[in-house]
Amino acid sequence: MTTPAVLILLGPPGAGKGTQARRLEEKFGLVQLSTGDMLRAAVAAGTDAGKAAKAVMDAGELVSDEIVINILRDRLKEDDVAKGAILDGFPRTTVQAEALDGLLAENGQSVNAAIAMEVDDAAMVERISGRYTCAGCGEGYHDSFKQPAAEGVCDNCGGTEFKRRADDKAETVGARLEAYHAQTAPLIAYYDEKGQLSRVDAMGDIDAITAKMTEMVESAIS
């Protein structure tokens, strides 16, 4: 029996983690596990870990690493992750990474690859802060890369009202990138020292990034 693979994607908001995770799921039969989704499912199912999480959240406190690890332990036993998982949003710190290593070791597993999706901060600010959508149908546009054919008129529905997300402002995006780098730098060093880190330029063509990441995963799980 093949040991289930465990992948970790590291990258700031807007780097394309979600898109690439979905493609890797389809290619390798893996399941993307989001910390938030797992918490909500465990609470709804009423598992022991879910009850512990609910009590903490109802008190307005943050769920501890121990509870998250217990929820992840339960989730990794489910049939749909028999081929492996892509972890989304966990670990965020080296303490969590060490706890994850301990959990995986219980099942004779380890992290196969931690892929750092590297971006150019200035280009990311432009990419994200330039986004806007049609208020009527949700069609997406961009100041630099995709303007409506007729100025101020949605190509899809003909609407003339557009909106931008508050957290897509340039200064907000810059602050989020700074916070990401500060938080993730130790994790990148952690996986690099263990020989589990791969790096990919996440600023290029989406299909080319997928091809590169596919090679990395094939090498890591072979």
What is the tens place of the pLDDT at every residue in 187-207? Answer: 999 999 999 999 999 998 999
Residues identified as active-site? 17, 92, 131, 165, 176
- Confirm if 4 and 109 have CB atoms less than 8 A apart: yes
R_g over Cα of the chain:
20
Taking the alpha carbons at both ends of the chain, their separation in whole angstroms is: 13
Which is nearest to 218 in space by CA: 133, 135, 71, 115?
115
Q: 71-74: list long-range contacts, CB under 8 Å, 24+ apart.
A: 71/38, 71/39, 71/42, 71/47, 72/33, 72/38, 72/100, 72/103, 73/49, 73/103, 73/106, 74/42, 74/47, 74/49
pLDDT, tens digit (0-9, with 9 covering 90-100), for 113-163: 999 999 999 988 988 899 999 999 999 999 988 999 999 999 999 999 999
Which is nearest to 3 in space by CA: 72, 106, 116?
106
Rounded Cα distance, 180 and 192, in Å: 17
Average pLDDT, the chain: 93
Judging by DSSP bridges, how do beta strands 113-118 and 5-10 pair with one another?
parallel
Question: 163: alpha, beta or left, given left = phi > 0 and alpha = psi -120 to 50?
Answer: beta
Q: What is the pLDDT of residue 145?
A: 86
Q: In this model, does residue 1 exceed pLDDT 50? A: no
Q: What is the pLDDT of residue 23?
A: 95
Q: What is the pLDDT of residue 81?
A: 94
pLDDT, tens digit (0-9, with 9 covering 90-100), for 89-109: 899 899 999 999 999 999 899
Q: pTM above the 0.75 mark?
A: yes
The owner of tokens 């780098």 is 181
- 221/7: higher pLDDT: 7
